[in-house]
Structures are given as C-alpha cells and as structure tokens.
Structure 1
Amino acid sequence: MAISAFVFVDVIGDHTKSAFKTITRLPGVKNLYSVTGPYDLIVDIEADTLEELDESVLSQIRSVDGVRKTTTSVILKR
C-alpha cells in the first residue's frame, strides 16, 4: 500500500509560478494546489515507502528554486 502525504510549501517572493511548474513534474505528485494562507502550495504526494517519501520531500521538493521551507503531514487514514 502506498504512503500518501500533503506537503505544505512556503515559497520565496515571486517564485510561486516557477515552483508550481517544477513540482508538478516530480515523480509521485498526484495533485498540486496554489492556495491562500500561511503556505503558497500544497502538494498531494504518494510514495511506495517512507524512504521514497523522504527522498521526494528532502531531495526533490526542497531543492526547487524558490522553496523556503516545507511541512509534511503523512495521511494516516482515508
């Protein structure tokens, strides 16, 4: 069974559009939302293992130009 999570992304300045385009193409991204509030983007992501999820968030999403920080919530129950 796949592991699903929401990644809340804080983007620096006017990098939201470019970050959105880049994150959309990352493996495991099911949906991506541009939102109002304390975060700029919410990523709905899925991975086969926690290690794969860790790699997706730490090495891929956080390395996108303009991403300041992320907060991840793993989905426990659907």
Structure 2
Amino acid sequence: MKRGGATLLSFKGEELHVVRAYIHVKVEPGKVLDVVKQLKALPEVKEAHSVTGPYDVIAKIEVANTKSLTDFLITRIHKISGIRDTMTSIILD
C-alpha cells in the first residue's frame, strides 16, 4: 500500500524521496510576526503560522533528504533572529 508523499526522479532517473517536516519554534517576545515573515521567505518553507500552545510558530518544510533537513536547520532556521528553540517532527505519511 502506497501512502501519501512525493517521489521525485533525479536527472539520472534515480528515485528521490522528499522529506517533509513540521518545525515547532519558540520565539523571543515580540518577534513572532517577524519570524513568521522570515520563515515564509525561505523556499523550503511551504507554510508558517503563529500558533497557541508551548510553541509560538509552526512551519511545514520540504527538503530532499534528512541531510538536507539537518543542513537547513543548522544553516538557515537557527540563524533567524528571534528564534530561541526548535523541535522538529518528520512527517511519516
């Protein structure tokens, strides 16, 4: 049984499986709208919203693989001004 998801083909015809994840973000007071705006400007971010609960923002992202996810978190997300903490949940289906 095939579940929802996406399969891409590389130029060589190899299957590439897209990794989708939710990034839950804790933000410094007064910075939520700015962080959402910065997240939405990133091409990997498909959605970003301010939310209620223990996290201030949630973003849905799409990257090529888990290495790309790690690189994206370290080099892009964690460098956004106002972000205090993140928790990432990889989407399984």
The TM-score bracket by the shorter chain reads: over 0.9
Cα RMSD (Å) of the superposition?
Answer: 0.9
**Residue 27 (structure 1) aligns with:** 43
Identity %: 35
The secondary structure found in structure 1 opposite 2:33 is helix
TM-score by length of 2: 0.78
In structure 1, how many angstroms separate the alpha carbons of the residues matched to 2:75 and 2:87? 14
> Where does the alignment leave 5 or more consecutive residues of structure 2 unmatched?
1-16
AA aligned opposite 1:8: H
**Aligned-pair distance for 1:43?**
0.5
1:16 to 32, 56, 61: 32
Following TM superposition, where does structure 1 have runs of at least 4 consecutive aligned residues deviating by more than 2 angstroms? none
**Residue 72 (structure 1) aligns with:** 88
TM-score by length of 1: 0.92
**Residue 14 (structure 2) aligns with:** none
The secondary structure found in structure 2 opposite 1:38 is coil
**Residue 42 (structure 1) aligns with:** 58
Q: Per chain length, whose mean CA-contact separation is higher, i.e. which structure has more relative contact order (CA < 8 Å, sep 6+)?
A: 1
